[in-house]
Amino acid sequence: MTTLLWLKAFHVIFMVAWFAGIFYLPRLFVNHAETTNQDIAEHLKGMEKRLLYFVTPFGVLTIALGIALIYHYGMAWFAASHWLHAKLTLVVLLVAYHLYCFKLVRIFREDKNTRSGRFYRIFNEVPVLALFAIVILVYVKPF
């Protein structure tokens, strides 16, 4: 039981750190898309890259600990936990979102961005909605 609690605790800790990064990175994209100052744009390029590379291990650790939790509970539990299947679908979408951020960092680095600050404001809401859904799935277990 103690191992399970430690796995859960660190899963949540790394998830919070991961989400902090994927909440903030698109805000940097908003600022980058809206600036006309080249010095600020260069500064934002560095911030975007450092933040993305800083939070990526948190995402990896969140997923690794989630897999460890599934292993600890067992395959029978996994098969019966339909709420978890929905959660994992959202996690896969978040991973795709995270990987797309690598592409966006490259686009900004190469000065090839064509999207507006408004696009990135909307883009910034995706992980917020995912977080709401994931927390509800984990704690309410609606199905």
For the stretch 75-92, pLDDT in tens is 999 999 999 999 999 999
**What confidence tier does 40 reach under pLDDT thresholds 50, 70, 90?**
very high
The pLDDT value recorded for residue 45 is: 98
The pLDDT value recorded for residue 81 is: 97
- What is the residue whose two structure tokens read 């883009």? 123
The pLDDT value recorded for residue 96 is: 98
Output the CA–CA distances (angstroms, integers) from residue 46 to 55, 66, 73, 118, 141, in the order listed: 14, 31, 42, 22, 41
The pLDDT value recorded for residue 6 is: 97
Name, in order, each residue with C-beta under 8 angstroms of 87's C-beta and a sequence gap of 6 or more.
134, 137, 138
**Contact criterion met (CB below 8 Å) for 52 and 102:** yes
pLDDT at 70 over 80: yes
Residue 63 to residue 118: CA distance in whole angstroms: 31
pLDDT at 1 over 80: no
The pLDDT value recorded for residue 112 is: 98
**What confidence tier does 14 reach under pLDDT thresholds 50, 70, 90?**
very high
Return the percentage of the chain with pLDDT > 90, whole number: 99
Q: Rounded mean pLDDT of the chain?
A: 97
The pLDDT value recorded for residue 68 is: 98
Question: DSSP letters of the chain?
Answer: -HHHHHHHHHHHHHHHHHHHHHHHHHHHHHHHHH---HHHHHHHHHHHHHHHHHHHHHHHHHHHHHHHHHHHH-HHHHHH-HHHHHHHHHHHHHHHHHHHHHHHHHHHHTT-----HHHHHHHTHHHHHHHHHHHHHHHH---
**What confidence tier does 54 reach under pLDDT thresholds 50, 70, 90?**
very high
